[in-house]
């Protein structure tokens, strides 16, 4: 007799990935299809476990039998029914074309993006937001999300020229921290930054090509949003102009910039240091 709290719709052992229910796993590289269907794929033990412990809606999981036994108590504690598929690792490795160390995958629904008003209303003082412009590398975006979680960022604005933080590689690089970070997807990032300024937040551009204010000189103790661009091109002129000021991390002249995830860690650490949180 089944317990009413059992959150497992079915458990099916498979030796082929051709089942229609496994389509999201077979289309890992078809990002637009996943984005259109508002689903994402989580990969790896830590990320899948954090997904199962989150408030997001989980659709299914595809994993080796031993990992199902390991995670079964967490799965059964979920409020929604989840379809479970178990398969040998050699079958799972067909999905990626290379050896998967753990072989755990899960599909979940992308949550609705927050509005700017919701993000502002849900953030306690002193507010700390981050924004990204022109960032298309999934790994860099995921690593930046992880830094946001580590340094108490309350919302992330993902500009219209950015990749999605819900891509499989971005979710993996974030180590699942994206599951608990409010994200705003403005149709126009520059306009959204003006909206933040109207609400009393300073918008500070992390911009390497500046010959004035350095990070240590910036005032970051009050409500602020730190804006990051791509490594290759930095911030677009419109987004840069929408910020209150541009601030640089001082570096030797032969080094033109940091990786964006590294820059985010430096900037966000300084915000927390100025607020007495380090």
CA angle 117, 123, 125 (to 5 degrees): 125
Over residues 168-193, the mean pLDDT reads: 97
Q: Find out whether 267 and 243 touch, Cβ atoms under 8 Å.
A: no
SS3 48: helix
Q: Tell me: the pLDDT tens digits for 213-249?
A: 899 999 999 999 999 998 778 899 999 999 999 999 9
- SS3 assignment, position 165: coil
Q: Tell me, what's the pLDDT at 209?
A: 66
The H or E element that residue 246 is part of is strand 245-247
Residues of the chain within CATH 3.30.1330.30 domain(s) are 8-109
Domain covering 8-109 assigned CATH 3.40.50.170 in the classification = no
Q: Of all helices (H) and strands (E), which one includes residue 241?
A: helix 237-241
Asked if 131 and 189 touch (Cβ cutoff 8 Å), the reply is: yes
Strand order in the sheet with 128-133: 183-184, 155-158, 128-133, 224-229, 202-206, 245-247
Cα 207 to chain centroid distance, Å, stands at 22
Question: How big is the chain by its Cα radius of gyration, in Å?
Answer: 21
Residue 147: pLDDT over 50 = yes
82 near 58, Cβ under 8 Å? Answer: yes
- pLDDT tens figures, 25-84: 988 878 888 989 999 999 999 999 999 999 999 999 999 999 999 999 999 999 999 999
Residue ranges matching CATH 3.40.1280.10 in the chain: 116-274
Is a pLDDT exceeding 70 seen at residue 96? no
3-class SS of residue 271: helix
Q: For 134, phi and psi rounded to 5 degrees?
A: 70, 20
CATH fold of 116-274 = Alpha/beta knot (3.40.1280)
The structure's pTM equals 0.92
């Amino acid at each position: 007799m089944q317990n009413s709290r059992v959150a497992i719709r079915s458990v099916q052992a498979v030796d082929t990935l051709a089942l229609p229910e496994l389509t999201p796993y077979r289309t890992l590289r078809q990002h637009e299809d996943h984005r259109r269907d508002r689903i994402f794929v989580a990969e790896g033990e830590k990320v899948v476990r954090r997904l199962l412990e989150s408030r997001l809606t989980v659709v299914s999981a595809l994993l080796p039998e031993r990992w199902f036994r390991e995670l079964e108590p967490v799965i059964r504690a979920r409020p929604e029914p989840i379809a479970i598929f178990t398969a040998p690792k050699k079958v799972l490795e067909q999905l990626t074309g290379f050896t998967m160390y753990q072989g755990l995958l899960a599909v979940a629904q992308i949550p609705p993006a927050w509005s700017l008003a919701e993000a502002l209303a849900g953030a306690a003082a002193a507010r700390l937001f981050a924004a990204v412009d022109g960032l298309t590398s999934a790994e860099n975006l995921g690593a930046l999300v992880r830094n946001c979680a580590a340094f108490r960022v309350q919302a992330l604005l993902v500009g219209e020229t950015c990749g999605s933080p819900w891509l499989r590689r971005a979710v993996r690089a974030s180590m699942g921290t994206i599951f608990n970070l409010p994200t705003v997807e403005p149709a126009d990032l520059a306009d959204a930054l003006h909206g933040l300024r109207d609400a009393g937040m300073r918008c500070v551009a992390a911009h390497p090509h500046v010959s004035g204010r350095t990070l240590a000189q910036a005032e970051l103790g009050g409500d602020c949003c730190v804006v990051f661009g791509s490594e290759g091109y930095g911030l677009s002129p419109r987004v840069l102009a929408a910020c209150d000021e541009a601030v640089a991390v001082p570096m030797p002249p032969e080094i033109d910039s940091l990786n964006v995830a590294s820059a985010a860690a430096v900037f966000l650490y300084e915000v927390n240091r100025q607020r007495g949180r380090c």
